[in-house]
Structure 1
Amino acid sequence: MTRSTRSGSRTSADRLARLLNLVPFLLARPGIEIAEAAGDLGVTERQLREDLELLWVCGLPGYGPGDLIDMAFDGDRVTITYDAGIDRPLRLTPDEALALVVALRMLAETPGVANREAVERALVKIESAAGDRLGAPVAVRLPADNRRVAELRAAVESGRALRITYYSVARDETIERVVDPLRILVVGGRAYMEAWCRRAEGMRVFRVDRIDAVTRLAEPARVPSQAVPHDLTGGVFRPTADLPLVTLRIGRSERWITEYYPCERVEPGDGEWLVSLRVTDLGWARRFVLGLGPEVTVVAPAELATQVHAAATAALEAYAMPPPSAAADPAASTSSR
């Protein structure tokens, strides 16, 4: 890798690594020329000056005089005059060590982590250093089917195609599919498998807890070169303008909908609110509305309102009809005295 390539890297991870190395580097070389430091660190002078400007606002909580990293400039030379304690060995309190162990264990349990061995090594070092201060051993389990996640992760690593039996909530049906798995990931506390679905001829994201059965096939996975993984940073469901728009009038007890689902429009009122949201299809929306309380009314589309009314009417009629045995036995309808 050339120096120009290194100096052009502006990712947050790269810059954080540079900043963490920069302070001890300068502490060991007081009064070093900026040009010499930039050459030793493999960055441009402009990039080093930008990093030094950022260090000026870094430091300890409080972020006032005596808390922030400070430095002195003499022409083109720089000296760290206050390092905010960065040169002292890190000493964690029991609570800090426990929080770090829990975070690392969650990271180790997260599907798709590339360098799990590095996480495990860090855990061993922290737990060894903390000793008895951590108290009881820490065990972390993510809210997912760990056995199925491990099975799917192994399938991804083996590069084999899978036959899965999957329950689709949108269609309210269970379908068998042959997929070419790409990766396992966790979004919002749930585990998902992203794969090329041969049935749909496109990339699909499958919730692990809705996969009822998995069979590893002998043939290798064949993810087309043009297949692009989904950007799931904003969540699994990404509403688009081509999806059906549903408008509901909701009461106070159903306002949780606006926090749980991505809504396109929310119009608060004195009592009822108007809420509009995109759905995958009207079949899912019908089951969703029927599962809500009485303080929900479908405003649009008319087709959904008709479907909900018909389903609710059919349910009421089923409850109103006496069972066949009662209709055949007149004594069953006679009240006791």
Structure 2
Amino acid sequence: MTTQVSTRLVRLLNMVPYFKANPRVTRDEAAAALGVTRKQLDADLEQLWLCGLPGYGPGDLIDFDFTGDTIEVTFAAGVDHPLRLTSTEATGVLVALRALLDVPGMVDPQAARSAIAKIESVDPAEPESASATAVREATRTGRALELEYHSASHDTVSSRTVDPIRVVLISDRSYLEAWCRSAEGVRLFRFDRIVSARVLDEPSRPPAPAVAAGPDTALFDADPALPSATLLIDRSAGWMFDYYPLRVLTELADGACEAAMTYASQEWMARFVLGFGSAVRVLHPPELADRVRQTAAAAVLAYEDE
């Protein structure tokens, strides 16, 4: 949850300089440039309206002018220069820029490469792995790929031949979206789980409907307005990360890990946790942990009454 809040804070602080540099930008253009949805952009603008100088009255708060679908800053409250990047932030920007370069039409390639070169000259990032480089090359040149991929659901490494479709960035992680020939379907392959990748001397031929459909990332989308639970997930339930929108917080020495997951209904989340028995436990918030215990006790009582 802290990482999510920090990420939004950095984005909010950089939004005002962006709008100052791009007056009368449209909502769609701003959302695309900032890497958020229109819904998130509107939520961020509403948040910025509550920020400003001490006094927090008219003339103190950040203000915007909306004409049609365009946005212009009318009072920046001194937040008119971009933040300096930390080493971690610079690495994140580099990952995002490299991912955007793989998506035709998303950014000006020359400008993106120039930005990458400038950031690397100031704060060099670790070079990408050979497998990641091969994945990007195959996607860019339209070649098939042979992958050795680690599946978290089975804790095994399998060989797959895939037809790359595109590279997508989801929650600061790079994924290859590709047609898996053995599964006969579209799959997302997380870069850090690709053990090795070899570009094949044959063209990538994913089915046209799969390419036209666009990336299906709905499972990974988290509404920042929703509450988040911190869960302790046993090693035996590691397969959950392949099927549910979980975000790893801490990996423990025994193979278990702490992970975050957003939810809309406390009742639903309690039933969800109970469905995994002792393999999943709620660490936070305490009221959700209490709800899980109460639901479990009620279920036991109902069973005893039968």
TM-score bracket for the superposition, by shorter chain length: 0.3 to 0.5
Compare CA radii of gyration and give the structure with the larger one: 1
Q: What TM-score does the superposition give when structure 2 sets the normalisation length?
A: 0.47
